[in-house]
Amino acid sequence: MSTPEFVLALREKIGHAPLWLSGVTGVVVRDADASDPEILLVRRADNGAWTPVTGIIDPGEHPADAMVREVAEETGIEATPVRLARVGVTRPGVYPNGDQVQFIDLTFRLAWRSGEPHPADGENTDARWCPVSELPALDDDMQARVDAALADDERTAFFTGGELVR
C-alpha cells in the first residue's frame, strides 16, 4: 500500500504543509538464539535502500498491531512483537511532490513466526533474511534502529536532541 487514505484526506486540507505522523519500524529476528541471527530486510522501491520494514500507524490502531500488519502486508511474513526497542523522531523530509513530513518512529523487535519473505505489496522490490554479520550498508538512523532492536538491554531507547537517554 502506498500513501494511506487518511493522509491523502489530510493533504486535501493542508496541502504541502508539514505533517507530523506516527510511524513504526519492525526489526524481525529469525533464529534469535543462533550465533548469527537473521533479520528481515526490504529493498525500498522509492530509493533502492535496504531497510527493516517501516510503515504508518492508522488512526486508532495500536502501534504493535500496525507493525505486525505492515510486516505481513509488505513481506508476507507473520511475526510477533517482542518489545518496543526505540522511540525516535526522524528529520523533516520533503517528498518529490512537495509534501513535507516528519515522523515519530516506534521501533519494535519482532520474532519470526512463519512465512518466507517476498515483496508483497509493491512498496519494495525485494525482501530477504540477512545474517546480522552480513548486513548491507544502512543509513545511520536505520542502523540505530536495528542496533536498538538487537541490543540485549530490554529497556526502550529514547533519543532526544540526538542523544540516547535511558
Asked whether the predicted pLDDT for residue 67 surpasses 60, the reply is: yes
Question: Which contacts (CB < 8 Å, 24+ apart) does range 54-60 have?
Answer: 54/23, 54/24, 54/25, 54/26, 54/105, 55/23, 55/24, 56/4, 56/7, 56/21, 56/22, 56/23, 56/24, 57/21, 57/22, 57/23, 57/24, 57/106, 58/4, 58/6, 59/6
What structural domains does the chain harbor?
Answer: 5-157 (3.90.79.10)
Instruction: Please tell me the pTM assigned to this model.
Output: 0.91
pLDDT tens for 100-130 read 999 999 999 999 999 999 999 888 999 999 9
pLDDT tens for 79-90 read 999 999 999 999
